[in-house]
């Protein structure tokens, strides 16, 4: 094999590997997107009659802007009323809130029919509130201060912050269905082109220019294209 031929084979092999890698990546992304779409659709249906959430144990966090002292934060992921909910609550580390959460076992999987009572009924004063809303999306942040006096052995006074992001399940379904729909459309287009090609071959029509070649089946008399004949369903070059 000459150097030129070897170089051509090397380039061809590299291109094939790149094309194969791209195809593999595309197929993997499509499968993952399809799975997400299926799970989102199932969660969407379930959220219409049940509310579920997974609560993580509180962890120590640094004070955010506008807050002073030591704090703990608890995060949770939920599904309710057609929405995926991502939320977190930050509360004073030395407060009765931790004991309240331990008492009500707000850890792990929870199921409810309405909003979760994440904070005890305290006399809160709202210091800041922020809302961002869009189609299928919503964000809400609430900063508040509790100046309550000790109740028994619990200390509730301190700064609290609640953040909640809601994403509509229908939006998740729509976004995750894009790749499977594109893949399915391309597959249908390829099948349609193949059926059209096979029909032209059976009718002795030139695949290149569409000229009737029944009189010259081996080569198109219009454009000179060498034709193929079929044996069964597999086209074989003449």
Q: What is the pLDDT of residues 211-223, one digit of tens each?
A: 777 777 777 877 8
Do the domain assignments include residue 127?
Answer: yes
Q: Are residues 93 and 190 in the same domain?
A: yes
Host domain of residue 218? 203-238
Residues 98 and 207 in one domain: no
Most confident option among 18-22, 58-62, 128-132, 223-227: 128-132
Statement: residue 229 has pLDDT above 60: no
CA dihedral 220, 223, 224, 226 (to 10 degrees): -60
Total domain count, the chain: 2
Q: Is residue 84 part of a domain?
A: yes
The pair of three-digit structure tokens given for residue 201, joined into one six-digit string = 């071959």
Shared domain check, 160 and 81? yes
Region of residue 46 (phi > 0: left; psi between -120 and 50: alpha; otherwise: beta): alpha
Judge whether 20 lies within some domain. yes
What is the C-alpha radius of gyration for the chain, rounded to an integer number of angstroms? 32
What would the two tokens of residue 139 be? 């964000």
CB 120 within 8 A of CB 156: yes
Please check whether residue 44 lies inside any domain of the structure: yes
């Amino acid at each position: 094999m000459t150097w030129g031929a070897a170089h051509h084979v090397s380039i061809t092999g590299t291109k094939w590997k790149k094309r194969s890698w791209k195809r593999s990546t595309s197929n993997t992304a499509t499968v993952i997107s399809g799975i997400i779409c299926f799970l989102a659709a199932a969660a969407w249906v379930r959220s219409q009659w049940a509310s579920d959430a997974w609560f993580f144990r509180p962890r120590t966090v640094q004070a955010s802007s506008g807050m002073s002292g030591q704090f703990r934060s608890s995060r949770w992921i939920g599904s309710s009323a057609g929405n995926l909910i991502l939320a977190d609550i930050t509360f004073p580390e030395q407060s009765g809130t931790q004991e309240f959460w331990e008492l009500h076992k707000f850890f792990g999987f929870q199921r409810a029919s309405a909003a979760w009572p994440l904070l005890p009924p305290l006399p809160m004063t709202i210091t800041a509130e922020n809302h961002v809303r869009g189609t299928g999306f919503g964000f809400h942040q609430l900063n508040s201060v509790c100046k309550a006096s000790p109740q028994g052995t619990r200390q509730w006074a301190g700064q609290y912050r609640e953040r909640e992001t809601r994403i509509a399940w229908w939006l998740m379904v729509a976004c995750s269905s894009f790749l499977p729909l594109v893949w399915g459309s391309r597959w249908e287009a390829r099948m349609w082109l193949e059926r059209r090609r096979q029909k032209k071959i059976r009718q002795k029509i030139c695949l290149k220019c569409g000229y009737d070649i029944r009189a010259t089946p081996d080569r198109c008399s219009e454009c000179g294209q060498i034709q193929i004949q079929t044996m069964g369903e597999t086209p074989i070059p003449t």
